[in-house]
Amino acid sequence: MTLLLTVGIFFACDKEKQKPTEPWSLSVIPSSVRLNPVTNTIIEQDFVVKSGLNDVKEPLKENWIFDGKEVALNAARGEYISFQVVITNHTDEILENIQMNAPNFKNGSSEIKIDPELFLEWSVEVKEHSTGYPNASLGNGWYPDALIPFKYLQLDSSKVNRWTSPLRLPDFNNRIEDQKSIIVWIDQYVPFDRDQALPGKYSSTITVEIGETRKEIPVSLNVWDFALPNRNLLGGALQHEGFVSRMSEEDALEIYQMLKRNRVSVMDPTYQPELEVKNGKVSLDWTDFDKRLKKYFTGEAFTSAYGYEYGPGYGEPIENFVLPFDVYGKHHTRGWPDTGTPDEERNPENVAVYIETIKQVRSHLQSMLDPEKTDLTVYLNGLDESYFKEAWSRMVFYGDLFKKHYPESHFRIDGAYSDEAMEYVSGSIDYWGSHTINYNIDKVREYQEMGIKDWLYGPMIYESEVNGWVGSLTFIDLPLINDRAISWSSWKYGIHSWLSWGIGAGWKHAWYDPETWKDVYKSGPGSDLEFPYKKINGSALAIYSGDIVPNVNGPCPSIRLKSLRDGVQEYEYMRMLSTLTGSKEAADKIVNKIINQPFGDNGIGVMEVWDYDPQKWDNARISMGEMIEELSKK
């Protein structure tokens, strides 16, 4: 394994500095890093990478968006731009009744009328590194992750009868011993329409008051004269079987809207109409299905009619929908429609039932769903990761059925298939979900040339092969950059899109225990003598449940979800730059300075698959934005 041992490259603290005379201080850090609220150090600084930066700074005094006096930001229309405000306590006293104000951005008579969105960062304690990453893990300690909207906090003492969720330092509920700082995440959405956000430099001022002391930091926002697409064209998705389909309609709506706002799609293969088969006749009852899903197919769920007042994808339908079909599986799960075991499913009467069900589903969905905007996937979970010829034969059989009877759909298989298997099924499948550990780009190019579109899923880096079984990329104790990297890598390799398993696995206990994946194998298939006990911090967890922390009554996004969003937004920069220049050359030049050769056999044991300096990523985005703005003038 290659590991480069340059530590503390862009953030280091002067341990000899004098103790501040003021009881508390105010600062701003970029959204691309995380601050340990106990040590007041940037968590990512401890990752062993080669940065190339020679200037050492104290991040709370100065960084690449904050010069110590003012914050400078840049954004396109239709984009979220974020930053973090840090309040640090220099005494042993509790700082109570903290008041924060972030007024709208203004430029003379012009004003961005969408309010900044404020979130209190909630930290989770990592007690042991994620399995398989003894060196790559950023270590034990407190990691900011959950983002609690300010609407859930008690900020006005005149309205409080009983304090349960005040804004104070140390945090009243997070219970962090020796906490030095609280961190507030600020999202600003820049409207898509030009007349609502004319190009130019806007300004606002972050104000914090504690007792009789008031501190301010001015913030400037340069709005470029172009907009990211309202639609999420990449369509990267979090797939989680049954996660939203089993919720109440109201709770599911919150999840769909949260992910839409962050340019990530929902995939849940378990939505099904009521099915009845009698004497070979198929009957489908769509009442509940339509009631739950029609608003997502039409895009109405993402309008003011359902409380979605603004944001990416306003009025646009969901990007992906997994059709309700399945087949008898290797774990003895039943199909939908249920046409029996592999020995029975090709009987003429069973085939007729399956085909009739396909036809009825297609006919019904055509009336409410545009396949040009909502990608229709056939994912047969019963054939997931099936590495034997009988399964390949079934993939071909069902793939051909859907090609003939539901031509607008795309038949997807997931797994690490051999050349023999891919050649066998290539004429019958449309999509291939490839795990990152098996994503060897030279071989993938051959499949791409066959017309197979690839979806990438799995961990972003591999210190060893042990995590080849993990379907999620959302690790809390690995560099935050990784969550952006999947979209950047999708651009580099021409990947159709990406997947990550899990939306909210363990989303209730995760507030207090970030180990959302735990496994113990003693013997049998899947056992691992070296790692019999596996645990992952933040696996399959992008959002946190409501009704766990006092007063927090709805789901909360994670910082890692915001990082996924940023990667998708930056992918759109690459797409726009390539469109304006007429080739991928300019975008590729920028991307290739950041992304090396991740994934596949050559990525195992190699950590430096991309540059881990977040400043370089942020500067690359600005470079693309400036180029797009200049090209748009021509």
Domain boundary among 405, 429, 453: 429
Residues 155 and 234 in one domain: no
Structural domain includes residue 507? no
- Is 569 a residue whose pLDDT tops 90? yes
User: Among residues of the chain, what percentage have pLDDT more than 90?
Assistant: 84
Q: Is 529 exposed, middle or buried (0-12, 13-18, 19+ CB in 10 A)?
A: exposed
Is residue 523 in a domain?
no
- Asked if residue 546 is part of any domain, the answer here is no
Look at residue 555 and tell me whether its pLDDT is greater than 90. Answer: yes
Residue 419's CB is within 10 A of a number of other CB atoms, namely 10
Give, in order, the Cα–Cα distances in Å from 155 to each of 86, 325, 496, 501: 17, 49, 45, 36
Q: Are residues 319 and 391 part of one domain? A: yes
Domain that holds residue 345: 229-429
pLDDT at 73 over 80: yes
d(CA 550, CA 565): 28
Q: Are residues 55 and 158 in the same domain?
A: yes
Q: Which residues contact 87 (CB under 8 A, 6 or more apart)?
A: 24, 25, 26, 95, 98, 169, 181, 182, 183, 184, 208, 210
| Structure tokens that stand for 256 in this block | 């769909």
Phi, psi values for residue 288, rounded to 5°: -70, -40
The residues, any chain, with a CB within 8 Å of residue 109's CB and separated by 6 or more, are none
Return all residues near 595 (Cβ < 8 A) that are at least 6 apart.
485, 488, 489, 492, 609, 610
Look at the block and give the residue holding tokens 């150090």: 41
Amino acid 528: pLDDT: 55
Last residue within a domain, chosen from 400, 429, 458: 429
Average pLDDT of span 45-66: 69
DSSP classification of residue 154: B
* pLDDT value for 5: 29
CA distances from 392 to 98, 395, 398, 422 (A): 61, 5, 10, 9
Do residues 182 and 260 both lie within one domain?
no
Residues 155, 279, single domain; the answer is no
Give the range among 96-110, 143-157, 445-459, 512-526 with minimum mean pLDDT. Answer: 512-526
In the predicted structure, residue 146 carries a pLDDT above the cut 60: yes
pLDDT in tens, 186-230: 999 999 999 999 999 999 999 999 999 999 999 999 999 999 999
Q: Which residue would you say has higher pLDDT here, 131 or 156?
A: 131
Gap between the Cα atoms of 321 and 374, Å rounded: 7
- Sequence-separated (6 or more) residues with CB below 8 Å from residue 144: 34, 35, 37, 121, 122, 123, 183, 559
For residue 17, being part of any structural domain is answered with no
Phi-psi region of 325 (alpha: psi -120 to 50; beta: other; left: phi over 0): beta
Query: What CATH number did the domain enclosing 61 receive?
Result: 2.60.40.10
Q: Outline where DSSP puts E strands in 505-623.
A: 515-520, 533-537, 543-544, 556-557
Asked whether residue 235 falls in the same domain as residue 203, the answer is no
Q: For residue 331, what pLDDT is reported?
A: 79
Q: What is the pLDDT of residue 158?
A: 66
Report the number of distinct structural domains present in the chain: 2
pLDDT exceeds 90 at position 53:
no
Q: Is the pLDDT of residue 559 over 80?
A: yes
Q: Does residue 215 sit in the same domain as residue 258?
A: no
The reply to whether 398 and 424 lie within a common domain is: yes
Identity of the highest mean pLDDT range in 11-25, 51-65, 552-566: 552-566
- Return the pLDDT at 459: 94
Whether residue 79 is found in the same domain as residue 31: yes
Quote the radius of gyration of the chain (alpha carbons, Å): 25
**Whether 219 and 299 share a structural domain:** no
Letter string b/e over residues 473-494, b meaning 16 or more CB atoms within 10 A of that residue's CB = bbbbbbbbbbbbbbbbbbbbbe
User: Has residue 573 been placed in a domain?
Assistant: no
Residue 57 reports pLDDT greater than 80: no
Query: Residue type at 558?
Result: S
Which H or E run contains 146?
Answer: strand 141-149
Q: Is residue 247 assigned to a domain? A: yes
Q: In this structure, are residues 324 and 402 in contact, taking their beta carbons and an 8 Å threshold? A: no
What is the rounded CA–CA span in Å between residue 422 and residue 430? 12
Angle between helices 389-405 and 348-366 (to 10 degrees): 50
pLDDT of res. 55: 47
Domain edge (last residue) among 227, 256, 279: 227
Long-range contacts of 94-97 (CB under 8 A, 24+ apart): 94/168, 94/169, 94/170, 95/23, 95/24, 95/168, 95/169, 95/210, 96/166, 96/168, 96/210, 97/157, 97/166, 97/167, 97/168, 97/210, 97/211
493 in a structural domain? no
Per-residue pLDDT band at 285 (split at 50, 70, 90)? very high
> Across the chain, what does the average pLDDT equal?
92
Closest CA to 533 of 143, 136, 124, 129: 129
Ramachandran category for residue 562: left, alpha or beta (phi over 0 → left; psi -120 to 50 → alpha):
alpha
Dihedral of CA atoms 175, 179, 181, 186 in degrees, nearest 10, equals -30
153 and 191 part of one domain: yes
Residue 199 half-sphere exposure, CB side, CA atoms within 13 Å?
11
Q: Please determine, for residue 88, whether its predicted confidence score (pLDDT) is greater than 50.
A: yes
**199 φ, ψ (degrees, to nearest 5):** -65, 150
Q: What is the pLDDT of residues 301-347, one digit of tens each?
A: 999 999 999 999 999 999 999 999 999 998 789 999 999 999 999 99
Query: What is the C-alpha to C-alpha distance for residues 340 and 336, in angstroms, rounded to an integer?
Result: 10
pLDDT at 361 over 80: yes
Q: Is residue 315 part of a domain?
A: yes
Residues 215 and 248 in one domain: no
Residue 521: its pLDDT value, please?
A: 55
Residue 2 parent element (H or E): none
Closest CA to 460 of 300, 623, 596: 596
